[in-house]
Amino acid sequence: MLEETSSPSRQDIFDLLELLHTDKALEGFNGLKRILVEYPHSSVCDDALYFLGVFYAHKQQNDKALACMQRLIRSYPASNMIHFARAWREKLSRNSAPELPEFLECEEAFFNKNIFVADRMLKEFSERHPKSVLADNALLLRAILWKNHAEFSGEEQGFETAKSLIQTILQEYPSSDAADFARQFDELSVGK
């Protein structure tokens, strides 16, 4: 957990995220807010903003969620979370896609690190909603899942699955933010 005297780390973010899914959700929420207030120049402020925004979105507080995503985009343009923040901004700026609640369930499984459940849910979402503004994000989350699984387990098949999903994004959604992120993701990290 975040120490009073130390700068927050990515592990602190993950610890706080875990609290959001327990009866200590308020503690996790306040911890993320504390990072933004007390450590405004920390390297994890973008992560804290993103996850606060997602938390607000899950709580149907779309104005607050949108504000977090817009702040992230404006303040941290080089963030690894920028693609996801832009996608959320797009979703929240519209009157939201009717399939958004289903996508949020998929995303929750993704962030809970349940790879096989999340992969199945995201795959089914993509198949049910191929024209959705969220379909490319579902494919990208699957690619990230498989790449991370391969790095952790050493299974080469995970890298191959991630590469295949990236190719699908690039072919089916070539001008999307997900495609931009997938290109960088493919060049920098898949199979390395």
Q: What is the CATH number of the domain that holds 26?
A: 1.25.40
Q: What's the whole-model pTM score?
A: 0.58
Q: What are phi and psi of 123, to 5 degrees?
A: -65, -45
Collapsing DSSP to helix, strand or coil, 7 comes out as coil
- Determine the residue type at 15: D
Same domain? 120 vs 71: no
Burial bucket for residue 51 (CB in 10 Å: 0-12, 13-18, 19+): buried
- Count of other CB atoms within 10 angstroms of residue 11: 11
Q: Which of 50, 77, 94 is the last residue of a domain?
A: 94
Q: How many domains in the chain?
A: 2
- pLDDT in 10s for each residue of the chain, 192 residues: 555 557 888 788 888 878 877 788 788 888 888 888 788 788 899 999 999 999 888 888 887 888 889 889 988 999 989 999 998 888 887 756 678 778 878 877 876 667 899 999 999 999 999 888 788 889 988 998 898 888 888 889 999 999 999 999 999 989 876 787 788 766 645 444
Sequence letter at residue 46? D
Question: Do 26 and 117 reside in the same domain of the chain?
Answer: no
Domain end: 94, 113, 141, which one?
A: 94
Domain boundary among 71, 94, 117: 94
Cα(78)–Cα(178) distance, integer angstroms: 15
Domain that holds residue 159: 97-192
